């Protein structure tokens, strides 16, 4: 359990929003290079390790995480030295104020920031209530005296801002609290998959890695699936848990059978394959109709159509500084993914694609 926590801590404390995934990509490249035949990148920066099958007619299977987390980008430096931003990925404005962030300048210097908030003292009088701020109106403050001082530290429009948070274990030692489990979960799923399969023969060419720019519209998946042209696509991603709000998705209840989201409906044959595999393997799983999307939504409509699905877990309070999730769910998802990848060969892929 300690080894898993250490890996999660390392990955979630890396910083990288859409377009600036380089620290995660460097980690992934270093980890997967000894485990695959070769490593390739696409034109936007997605990175994938490839294990070639000796038969050129063997199916091509793609397993893809995404590297980016949610954050912000500087749009303006005000005369008083505070910053204004645009959000990179989806944020609930209720979770942004009075939090610590890190700004990275073009030279890589890390600048500490906090997000502003209005003290209750300034809300007295009038209606006495606080208005919910628009995300674009949140102030970011590095304590600079004025615009010139902020600029003297190398701050420019276009610099990125990332949540500052440390991964910790909960008191019962079963769960973790950190930022960026969406989707460093998927990155760790890919590296653990390749590590566990390194000495095993597979019935297909495996293309496993991570896309860029998922949080701003599934952009990287369009590029990577076009480049690698897989027959099946498996996104590995983290979804929001609804358990404390009376909705579906409960931490500790295993991996997700994500049969629906607004951008993707799981095909019947894929659903049958996943259910059979889960039952044969004995993995713990739960049905999950999603309200958001994953890279499977982009992949399934590329090329001539690629049967796709998402293998994942749920976590509480995602897209914030403090996400809470169960380590046991990671183990169940990893066991499920390994079982899927081991079962796939030409006949099984053809059955999934048989309409």
Catalytic residues: 214
- CA distances 120 to 25, 28, 138, 299, Å, are 43, 45, 17, 47
162 and 17 Cβ atoms separated by less than 8 Å:
yes
Structure tokens that stand for 66 in this block: 């995404």
User: Exposure of 289 by Cβ count < 10 A (0-12 exposed, 13-18 middle, 19+ buried)?
Assistant: middle
Structure-token match 């076009």, residue found: 226
Cβ of 7: how many Cβ atoms within 10 Å?
Answer: 17
14 and 27 Cβ atoms separated by less than 8 Å:
yes
Which residues, other chains included, contact 276 with Cβ-Cβ below 8 Å and sequence gap of 6+? none
d(CA 195, CA 341): 13
Does the bond joining 183 to the residue before it have cis omega, within 30 degrees of 0? yes
């Amino acid at each position: 359990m300690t080894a898993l926590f250490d890996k999660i801590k390392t990955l979630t404390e890396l910083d990288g929003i859409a377009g600036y995934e380089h620290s995660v990509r460097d980690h992934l490249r270093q980890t997967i290079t000894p485990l695959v035949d070769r490593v390739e990148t696409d034109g936007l920066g997605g990175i994938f390790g490839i294990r070639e099958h000796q038969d050129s007619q063997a199916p091509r299977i793609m397993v893809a995480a995404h590297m980016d987390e949610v954050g912000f980008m500087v749009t303006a430096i005000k005369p008083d030295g505070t910053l204004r931003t645009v959000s990179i990925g989806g944020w609930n404005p209720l979770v942004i104020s009075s939090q610590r962030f890190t700004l990275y300048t073009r030279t890589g210097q890390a600048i500490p920031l906090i997000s502003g908030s209005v003290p209750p003292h300034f809300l007295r009088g009038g209606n006495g209530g606080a208005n919910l701020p628009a995300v674009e109106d949140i102030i970011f403050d590095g304590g600079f005296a004025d615009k010139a001082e902020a600029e003297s530290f190398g701050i420019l429009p276009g610099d990125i801002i990332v949540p500052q948070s440390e991964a910790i274990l909960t008191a019962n030692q079963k769960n973790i609290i950190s930022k960026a489990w969406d989707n460093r979960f998927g990155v760790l799923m890919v590296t653990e998959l390749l590590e566990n399969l390194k000495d095993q023969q597979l019935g297909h060419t495996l293309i496993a890695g991570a896309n860029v720019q998922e949080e701003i519209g599934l952009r990287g998946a369009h590029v990577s699936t076009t480049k690698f042209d897989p027959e099946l696509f498996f996104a590995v991603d983290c979804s929001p848990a609804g358990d404390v709000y009376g909705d579906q998705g409960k931490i500790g209840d295993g991996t997700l059978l994500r049969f629906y989201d607004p951008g993707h409906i799981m095909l019947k044959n894929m659903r049958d394959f996943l259910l059979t595999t889960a039952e044969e393997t004995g993995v713990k799983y739960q049905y999950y109709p999603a309200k958001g999307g994953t890279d499977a939504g982009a992949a399934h409509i590329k090329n001539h159509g690629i049967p796709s699905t998402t293998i994942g877990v749920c976590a509480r309070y995602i897209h914030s500084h403090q996400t809470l999730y169960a380590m046991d769910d990671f183990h169940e998802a990893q066991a499920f993914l390994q079982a899927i990848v081991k079962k796939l060969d030409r006949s099984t892929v053809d059955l999934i694609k048989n309409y």
